[in-house]
Structure 1
């Protein structure tokens, strides 16, 4: 009788252990279940970790340069359910620090103070390399200037006009922040100057005896402005040949 009872108890324990083992293989983590609500072809941003909280879904056609006040700086996790790379940024206009998300992957930001509740823009792109540039926003036949390197940050699209005093065909910037990068998508070359009067020269701090005239961006070219020109542009003009620069 004692032996039979012992066998029965052992059998019950083994059955219970097998039941627990089986459940371990079939119960999905809560975070995986939460991210499952992201529709195909969408980048989903969530207001809580693990795909929880409120969800906002974006397609590749949606404008991700900035969010409305109810969603700005609200993201704590994300799911990229698209065939594209997703890029998320802490500033509007694809500016500031960034994170990339592979197609099909999810990401968490709640434990990273650099990104937690700070994401303000995103885009979906063909490759990871596209996350590090924003030049593609510039429309054809325009000069575009940007507040960050590689065409990132706030973009200004310049509509050239003839200055009534100097007769230069271009734009003066007034109080606008000096460009950090430029794309010249026009059929003319662009001459940049350190004054609003389409004139001026630069001195190289490393070689004070060396001065430079206009900084030229050839037609079709883009660039991040190098020293000693960085942060100093106050005007530009469009010319047919570089010899026309002041």
Structure 2
């Protein structure tokens, strides 16, 4: 049998390839280290006490929004993995307040290098779009007037159940300075008139130093509307009443 030069070359080439494959398998480590955040389960937001997905891990399913953490985990997060199909919103204050960061579905994030977020995360929520991270109005129950201590429905919320005042006869609520609302959601079927005094009275002026300044007796939020409260009303509401028409405001 005659072996041609072509057959010799082909055999040599196959031998070389096999040798390379064998050497490649031999240099593979027996126990490769896991990739960062690789331990985060599916459909889960994982928060870590260390950078790069290290340290202790706290898991939340894609149905678990937390306005506060318990004392053992509050202000402890240094990195996070959003292994869900939703956007993750993390906040430095409880009840979706203060500065925030957003994490795309499937992405991870680090907080140790930013003084504003380093060990400062206190609440989170998972939402269908990034825009939902910047508001918190969805917490307001039906048939309530909700006031919030921060803009756009964020921060601590008070859900007011309307009642008839036995003295004034006003149908609404009166409260002290603890509410200090900066945004409101009127989730009732009536309009709401807000006042600067607890007894459904008082006025605001736009600018006392301006000869053309105007005086207002009520700040109105129509039924179903939500808004961030502008100056000079910000943080000054002390009572509100529900009315059928805005002409009924005091």
Could you state the TM-score of these two structures normalised by the residue count of structure 2?
0.85
Q: Does 1:44 align with 2:46?
A: yes
1:50 aligns to what SS in structure 2? Answer: helix
Q: Does 1:174 align with 2:176?
A: yes
**CA apart distance, 1:230:** 1.0
**CA apart distance, 1:23:** 6.5
Q: Does 1:234 align with 2:238?
A: yes
How many residues are paired up? Answer: 225
Q: What is the match of residue 16 of structure 2?
A: none
**CA apart distance, 1:113:** 1.0
Correspondence for 1:99 among 98, 101, 110: 101
Higher mean C-alpha deviation, range 55-64 or range 73-82: 55-64
- 1:152-171 correspondence runs (5 A): 152-171=154-173
Higher mean C-alpha deviation, range 159-168 or range 81-90: 159-168
Q: What is the match of residue 213 of structure 1?
A: 217
- 1:1-246 correspondence runs (5 A): 33-205=35-207, 207=210, 209-246=213-250
Contact 2:203 2:215 in 1 (8 A): yes
| Partner Cα separation in structure 2 for residue 155 and residue 33 of structure 1 | 40
Q: What is the match of residue 11 of structure 2?
A: none
| Partner Cα separation in structure 2 for residue 104 and residue 54 of structure 1 | 20
| Partner Cα separation in structure 2 for residue 176 and residue 111 of structure 1 | 35
Kindly provide the CA deviation profile for residues 210-234 of structure 1, in whole angstroms up to 9, marking residues without a partner as x: 1011100000000000111111111
Could you state the TM-score of these two structures normalised by the residue count of structure 1?
0.86
Q: Which runs of 5+ in 2 are unaligned?
A: 1-19
Q: Which runs of 5+ in 1 are unaligned?
A: 1-14
Contact 2:148 2:179 in 1 (8 A): no
| Partner Cα separation in structure 1 for residue 171 and residue 144 of structure 2 | 13
Structure of higher CA gyration radius: 2
Runs of 4+ in structure 1 over 6 Å off: none
